[in-house]
Each structure stands twice: as C-alpha cells, then as structure tokens.
Amino acid sequence: MFQKLKQSLRDMMIGRYGQDQLGTVIFLLGLGFMILSMIFGRFLWSSVFSFLSWAALIWCIIRMFSRNIAARSKENKAFLNFVSRLRDKEHRYYRCPQCRQIVRVPRGRGKINIRCPRCNRKFIKKT
C-alpha cells in the first residue's frame, strides 16, 4: 500500500521541478505568516497574515509541480545570488546606471570612481 503510494508520488514528480532553496524559504515564510495570523487571531492583521501564508504555500506548491524547470532554477539562482550579496560584508554592489550591469566594489574606501566593466561608463559612489 505505502509502496504503491510512494511509486505513484514518484511518477507524479517526473519531469517536474521539485523543491529547492527558494522553495524552502517560501515555505518557511508561509509557516511564519500562519503563526503570526494565529497570534493576531482577533485583529484585522490576522486575515492579512493568513492570506499571505496561503499565498506563500500555494506559490511553493506551484513551483514544486512546475514543468518549466529552466525558469524555476533561474529563479532559485537569482535568489541565491541575492542571499550571497546580503552576506557579503566586504563588498558593495551597484547597478550601472547605463546598462544595469551589477558591479561589485570593495567596501569602506570612501567615494570612489567606478567603471562599468561592460559598457565602460564611469560613475561615482560612496562605499
């Protein structure tokens, strides 16, 4: 019985994306909002949080069952990039005003002249 259930679950997931780091974070956010909605049980906030928690959980499930694997892994990659930038205390990240390329510069150098490696545009930023 359980073997059969496991097998059919596996068949269902063939060709689908499954879980990743972004999915886990969305899922945890959903749980967090659910807890918040319980805490704020008697206030208007409760329905806001419960809506957010359902939205997060449904989003998480849609991503898991998505067949567009390339798009999902691109989302996850962008998310991981974002997290590593948040953790990076030694650099600052700026977007080139012309071509929108992200440029990484060392932190704590005061005002510096940044030259975009892609389009060579120069701009001044405080680091």
Instruction: Report the residue from 78, 80, 83, 119 that binds Zn ion according to the rule CB under 5 A.
Output: 119
Binding part of the chain for Zn ion, among 52-60, 81-89, 90-98, 104-112 by CB under 5 A, reads 90-98
CB of 90 to Zn ion, least distance (A): 22
In angstroms, what is the minimal distance from the CB of 117 to Zn ion?
8
Return the number of the residue (109 or 118) whose C-beta is nearest Zn ion: 118
Q: List CB contacts of 89: < 8 A, sequence separation 6 or more.
A: 107
Site residues (CB under 5 A) for Zn ion, limited to 14-43: none
Token match 């390339």: residue?
A: 70
Cα separation, 15 vs 105, whole angstroms: 40
Least Å from the CB of residue 112 to Zn ion? 16
**Does residue 99 bind Zn ion (CB under 5 A)?**
yes
> Is 102 an interacting residue with respect to Zn ion (CB under 5 A)?
no
Residue with smaller CB distance to Zn ion, 79 or 123 = 123
